[in-house]
Amino acid sequence: LTQAKRMRLPSINLAYSAGYSSSDFENLVENENYVWNLAMGLTLPLFQAGRLKANQKLSESELNRSELEYIQTVLNAFSEVESKISSHHLLLLQLDALNRALNQAEEALNLSKDRYDTGISELITVLDSQRRVFDTRSQMILIKRQLIDNRIDLILALGGTYETK
């Protein structure tokens, strides 16, 4: 951007040269034949048909686009981290509810076994209670796996690395 602005301004060039000058080869190195020259030049960006101004605007728009892309990247990162933290809390709530459901299912299984042993209920009731315990444990395993996956995703979203050995 600064280079594009600089191209629109005039530039000043200084040049210096020194040496010996003589029409005779014999007198070439004498002090009175020493010649020096100082030149100054001024260059102006004259007719460029708006090319320099267009280059400056192009540089400014590229800078703005880069800033917007950076801001969008930062916002996406914050959104991803927030999403993973929210998912983590929801999964913990589900795991807590499944723990309570598992306790109730195990109590129901024990009760159905006691009732079966005394002859009050049938075997199908015990088997149904066992199925509920197994289903609840299976759901708990799935939620625990989702918790692990979510934690890995959160670590990656925060800039961590994941290495397998």
Indicate if the pLDDT at residue 130 is higher than 80. Answer: yes
What does the pLDDT read at residue 58? Answer: 83
pTM above 0.75, yes or no: no
Distance CA 126, CA 132 (A): 10
Distance CA 27, CA 21 (A): 9
Under the banding of pLDDT at 50, 70 and 90, the label for residue 71 is very high
What does the pLDDT read at residue 125? Answer: 93
Tokens of 111: 């009760």
Indicate if the pLDDT at residue 137 is higher than 50. Answer: yes
Check if the beta carbon of residue 58 is closer than 8 Å to that of residue 4: yes
Query: pLDDT tens-digit profile of 21-39?
Result: 555 555 545 555 555 555 5
> CB 88: neighbour CB atoms within 10 A?
16
Indicate if the pLDDT at residue 79 is higher than 60. Answer: yes
Mean per-residue pLDDT for 75-102? Answer: 94
The torsion angle over the Cα atoms of residues 62, 68, 74 and 78, rounded to 10 degrees, is -160
The chain-wide mean pLDDT, for the chain, equals 81
Tokens of 117: 């042993």
Check if the beta carbon of residue 143 is closer than 8 Å to that of residue 95: yes
Query: pLDDT tens-digit profile of 96-116?
Result: 999 999 999 999 999 999 999
Q: At what angle do helices 51-117 and 123-157 cross, to 10 degrees?
A: 160
CA distances from 38 to 13, 45, 83, 94 (A): 11, 23, 69, 85
39 or 93, higher pLDDT: 93
Tell the burial category of 105 from Cβ atoms under 10 Å away from its Cβ (0-12, 13-18, 19+): buried
Indicate if the pLDDT at residue 127 is higher than 90. Answer: yes
